[in-house]
Amino acid sequence: MEYARKALEENYNGCHSSLADSAEELTTGASEIPEHLAFYIDDDRMGATWK
């Protein structure tokens, strides 16, 4: 039970309406993406690989 509690506290990434939204949140939360590179990030494709 302690392992589950710790995993939830440290790894919970929020509730998202789609895998693409989750991928976008993870990407932007991990680093700042320069505007000129943001066009090349495909959140839909990243989310599709998590299925």
DSSP track, 34-46: PHHHHTT--HHHH
> How many domains does the chain divide into?
1
Of residues 51 and 49, more confidence is placed in 49
pLDDT tier for residue 36 given thresholds of 50, 70 and 90: very high
User: Can you give the pLDDT at residue 5?
Assistant: 83
Q: Give the type of residue at 50.
A: W
Q: Which domain holds residue 33?
A: 2-48
Q: 2-32 pLDDT, tens per residue?
A: 888 887 778 777 788 888 888 888 888 778 8
- Contact of 27 with 43, CB cutoff 8 Å: yes
- Specify the 3-state DSSP secondary structure of 13: coil
User: Can you give the pLDDT at residue 48?
Assistant: 84
